[in-house]
Amino acid sequence: MKKTKIIVVAAATGAIAGLLVYAFRKCRSHRMLKQVAAEGYETAHEVLFPHTGSLGNKTHYGPVLPHHG
């Protein structure tokens, strides 16, 4: 194969991979937003889908009760 054919095939493969990643992210985002809409406006998006990778160990969702002890 000529060098130009290899470059064209590589560019086409990269474009297809990019479109697949875009479609996957859009589908996942749509699914999340649909669930948030079904829950209603009372439930925050961060409560349903928290970013657990950046949260500390002491993060707590819900009411905080005072500690007597």
Give this prediction's pTM.
Answer: 0.54
| pLDDT at residue 18 tops 60 | yes
Residue ranges covered by each domain of the chain: 3-48
pLDDT in tens, 19-32: 999 999 999 889 88
Give, as one character, the DSSP assignment of residue 53. T
Please report, for residues 1, 16, 21, 63, the alpha-carbon distance to residue 28 in angstroms, rounded to integers and kept in the order given: 39, 18, 11, 29
Rank 10-19, 24-33, 44-53 by mean pLDDT and report only the highest: 10-19
The two three-digit tokens of residue 47, written as one number: 């409560």
Q: Per-residue confidence at 61, pLDDT binned at 50, 70, 90?
A: low
Higher pLDDT, 18 or 36: 18
Q: Which amino acid is at 18?
A: G
